[in-house]
């Protein structure tokens, strides 16, 4: 999985993170470390994980300056064992210390998402159902978090409100009904997905020829019955309360997709350590 480290949103996110943490300067490092002292450091996994965001390290150090070499020893999407090195860096000791927390925050957060995403992907293997992420991401970090989810092996849903049509309950209310919402949404010229709450809404959506229906907050048994009723007339996505423990049951209903916000909003940051070596 390639991280788009040259994307303007990514560069700005890293720039903001550095400014937030370092501000006008790292007063501890400036007080303790001689100006020209050089050092090397290594990022090491303290637990098994799926790496994500390692490719951000050269960008982090380039934006700060003072680094001679960054050697990546793992790539996004790669499974990493406890004790394995993800990257090695060499340069000014002050720079390494200034960037330590920013680098670890990105690596731990993104690798945590990729690790959880890999577990979701493996949980549904053999069902023919694909796992989707959602827009339930950290504000300002969506692109990074979705790239981490993809590195873990799941499929990205829409990036934002601008790149797919998804009619939800409040759209239906505001538009005056299922058919009205669908007919107006056709102006966007894109395939239409609609969330339906009742069998009546489902029948109306299918009669309008939507590409995909979203069924929310059903039990696996209820979802399986609706999938049988739809019978291939539209793709089916299931959402609502889908967790790692139950995602297989939902995937076995015959649905085309299951979506889970937990992949991004509830992923645990994994344990990665930065070891400094002075020379």
What total number of domains does the chain contain?
2
- Is residue 146 part of the annotated active site? The answer reads no
Indicate whether 98 and 158 sit together in one domain.
no
Decide if 216 is catalytic. yes
Same-domain pairing of 117 and 187: no
Other C-beta atoms lying within 10 Å of the C-beta of residue 162: 6
Rounded Cα gap, residues 132 and 255, in angstroms: 12
In a domain? residue 169:
yes
1 located within any domain: no
Do 218 and 141 share a domain, yes or no?
yes
Instruction: Give the three-state DSSP class for 141.
Output: coil
Q: Which of 38, 42, 158, 168 is catalytic?
A: 168
Per-residue pLDDT of the chain (279 residues; tens, 9 = 90+): 567 899 999 999 999 999 999 999 999 999 999 999 999 999 999 999 999 999 999 999 999 998 999 999 999 999 999 999 999 999 999 999 999 999 999 999 999 999 999 999 999 999 999 999 999 999 999 999 999 999 999 999 999 999 999 999 999 999 999 999 999 999 999 999 999 999 999 999 999 999 999 999 999 999 999 999 999 999 999 999 999 999 999 999 999 999 999 999 999 999 999 999 867
Q: Is residue 170 part of a domain?
A: yes
- Closest Cα partner for 98 from 144, 158, 33, 42? 33
Position 2 in a domain: no
The CATH number of the domain where 256 resides is what?
3.20.20.70
- CATH code of the domain containing 95: 3.90.1170.20
260: in domain: yes
Q: Which domain holds residue 35?
A: 8-121+267-278
34, burial (CB in 10 Å: exposed 0-12, middle 13-18, buried 19+): exposed
Pick the catalytic residue: 55, 195, 226, 256?
Answer: 195
254 and 206 within one domain: yes
113/239 same-domain check: no
- pLDDT for 1: 54
Does residue 180 sit within a domain? yes
Are 139 and 244 in the same domain? yes
Q: Is 171 a member of any domain?
A: yes
pLDDT value of residue 3: 79
In this structure, are 164 and 90 located in the same domain? no
Of 216, 233, 252, 271, the catalytic one is 216
């Amino acid at each position: 999985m390639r991280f788009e480290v040259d994307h303007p949103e990514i560069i700005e996110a890293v720039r903001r993170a550095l400014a937030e943490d370092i501000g006008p300067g790292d007063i501890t490092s400036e007080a303790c470390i001689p100006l020209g002292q050089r050092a090397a450091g290594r990022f090491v996994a303290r637990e098994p994980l799926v790496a994500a965001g390692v490719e951000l390290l050269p960008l982090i150090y380039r934006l700060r300056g003072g680094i001679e070499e960054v050697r990546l020893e793992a790539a996004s999407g790669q499974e990493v064992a406890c004790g394995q090195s993800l990257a090695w860096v060499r340069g000014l000791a002050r720079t390494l210390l200034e960037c330590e927390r920013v680098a670890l925050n990105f690596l731990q957060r993104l690798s945590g998402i990729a690790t959880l995403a890999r577990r979701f992907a493996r949980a549904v293997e053999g069902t023919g159902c694909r796992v989707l992420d959602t827009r339930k991401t950290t504000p300002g970090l969506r692109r990074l978090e979705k790239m981490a989810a993809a590195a873990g092996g799941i499929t990205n849903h829409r990036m934002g409100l601008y790149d797919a049509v998804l009619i939800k309950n409040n759209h239906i209310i505001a538009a005056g009904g299922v058919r009205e919402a669908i007919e107006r949404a056709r102006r966007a010229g894109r395939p239409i997905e609609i969330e339906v709450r009742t069998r009546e809404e489902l029948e109306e959506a299918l009669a309008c020829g939507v590409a995909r229906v979203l069924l929310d907050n059903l039990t696996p048994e209820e979802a399986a019955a609706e999938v049988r009723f739809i019978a291939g007339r539209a793709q089916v996505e299931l959402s609502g309360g889908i967790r790692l423990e139950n995602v297989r049951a939902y995937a076995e209903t015959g649905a085309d997709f299951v979506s889970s916000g937990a992949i991004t909003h509830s992923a645990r940051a994994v344990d990665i350590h930065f070891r400094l070596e002075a020379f």
